[in-house]
A and B are shown apart, each in its own frame.
Chain A
Amino acid sequence: MASVVGTFTIDPRARRAAAKRRTRGEGATAWAFVSPSVLIILGLSIVPVLWSLLLSFQVNDLVSPSRWVGFANYKALSADPAFQAAVEHTLVYTALYVPLSVVGGLGIALMLDRQIRFISIYRTLVFVPFVVSAAAQGVLFSFVLDPEFGAANSVLHKFGLPAQGFFSDPGQALYLLVAISLWSGTGFCVIVYLAALQGVPGELVEAARIDGAGRAGVLRHVVLPTLTPVTVFLALFQVINALQVFDLVFVTTKGGPLGSTTVIVYFIWEKAFKSFTAGYSAAAAYALAVALLLAGLALQLYQRRRKGVR
């Protein structure tokens, strides 16, 4: 009898061993599945992040052995007028680009959110500049805004207006960069808002209408509050983008004229790969990373609070 029972019940120890064997086998397969991603992603992020931190305390020219200098790079950075100018330019760019692209995007999305003919063509045209690379945008606008051969001055001439210096004018260059970024970046906000507008509950709109709200009233009391989370997301997303602007600057002005468009990332690139002061550059990169981290944390906090409320 005992032997019969023995053949039908499984010894708990054997079962545990079997489960262990199974998960061990599974573990090996799982590791085989994730190891390419883990090696590449962690190898090219965690290691460089720590390496950058070490670099920021060193003097390094990317070739010869580096020398430890403690906080000297950070001290020099805080006293460097070129870095202060770069921070200023980046803040001006961000302060103009973010509100204009988000509010402009909302306005255009509200206009495009209706069922009329050709609407999908309009939407496509507004969005298409977004997929054009910053390099291509830069080359195109360098041509359009060329003081001698550009179409922009040609048009001004037709209207009898004086020719402009555009990118060669230190008073105009940064604002032109904002305008070009708006041309390509507003479409993204439009698309995200258009998607969000589908989620505005129709019953609420109807209820507000019945209560005597006009178009403006519905917009103010129903539509805009529903869109608030999207607005916050877009604002922070655009801040993160704006703080990292580089490609467009590199292609159009190379930080000039007279340093008027040197933004933080351009400063970082220049210090590392043109003047070969990698340690100094790494310190500037860490300063930028802290700013980005704060923006990212604000987004996280906001989303968590929203989820909590729901």
Chain B
Amino acid sequence: MKKLPFSPWHFVLAPLALLFALPLIWLLVSSVMSNAEINKFPPALWPSGIKLDGYRFVLGNALFPRWFLNSFIVSAVAVTANLVFGSLGGYAFARMRFAGSRLLLGLMLATMVIPFQLTMIPTFLVMKDLGLIDTLGALIVPSLVTPFSVFLFRQFFVTLPRELEEAAWIDGCGRLRILVSVVLPLARPALSTVAVLTFLSTWNDLTWPLIAINHDSNYTLQLGLTTFQGQHHTQWAAVMAGNVITVLPVLLGFLLAQKAFIRSLAATGLKG
């Protein structure tokens, strides 16, 4: 980093940034406390040493690793499916002419403004009829592709110059071949934006798993965490350890892909 002169602004900005960081620091700190330290009054504000009892407790619990796996499966399938179906649909809307394409695109865009609360009861009934309630399938099917993914890919593909595809076209490549070997390698910003936002929204979702899942063996991490809290009221260290493990993948992902992440959020104005 380039050396810059000291600025008095640090006196304002450092405490402000610390204020935002404090709850997360406290999350980490309390996850390594012993229950004795948490349960005494007034509770300790700093651990006497690093105790991993909380982590041992949650990881040794039969359900917690299962919840992690469930969340991972649902998010991984959602990300993959959104990339595949989103890019296929987006490419067709950007480059191919077919009857009703404009109407269809308009309809898809219109569905983006429908609030989830309006569709959740019938979606529950549909999933029940399909026999998917209380399975991971109920979490996966509605998140396979979002109108946002299709639209984002379409907008990106429209900006690519057609000439890039023409050589492959003349060589007799089909549309699928062109999409896979010419267009997608150029579409990394769109791919990463869709992947990041899909992961964020599926990993962090609570409402739909709450409705669609009954048995604790099918819970996702977010859902498990909320029940965990009630069951182990005195085991706060374990609850916080579980919370750290829930937050960590998103936090690590964010820190690794910070620039792309912020750019995509600022550009799309969407929260997951």
Contacts and interface: CB of A to CB of B under 8 A. Distances in A.
Interface of A: 23, 26-27, 29-31, 33-34, 36-38, 40-42, 44-49, 51-52, 55, 62, 108, 111-112, 114-119, 121-122, 124-136, 138-144, 146, 148-151, 153-155, 157-158, 183, 187-188, 191-192, 194-195, 233, 237, 241, 244, 246-247, 250-251, 265, 268-269, 272-273, 278, 281-282, 285-286, 288-289, 292-293, 296
B247 A251 contact: no
B20 A37 contact: no
Given A52-B118, A118-B10, A140 B23 contact: yes
**Residue of A55, A141, A289 contacting most chain B CB atoms (<10 Å):** A289
Interface in B25-70: 26-27, 30, 38-39, 41-45
Contacts, number: 276
Closest 7 interchain pairs by CB? A133-B204, A48-B122, A37-B89, A33-B92, A51-B122, A48-B119, A30-B98
Given A27-B99, A149-B43, A122 B145 contact: no
Q: At the interface, is chain B mostly helix, strand, loop or mixed?
A: helix
Interface residues of B, number: 99
A29 B175 contact: yes
B7 A114 contact: yes
Contacts of B21: 125, 128
Interface of B: 1, 3-4, 6-7, 9-10, 12-14, 16-18, 20-21, 23-24, 26-27, 30, 38-39, 41-45, 85-86, 88-89, 91-93, 96-99, 101, 104, 107-108, 111, 113-126, 141-142, 144-147, 150, 174-176, 200, 203-207, 210-211, 222-223, 225-226, 228-229, 236, 239-240, 243, 246-247, 250-251, 254-255, 258, 262-263, 265-267, 269, 271
B98 A52 contact: no
B47 to A, nearest CB: 12
A126 B20 contact: yes
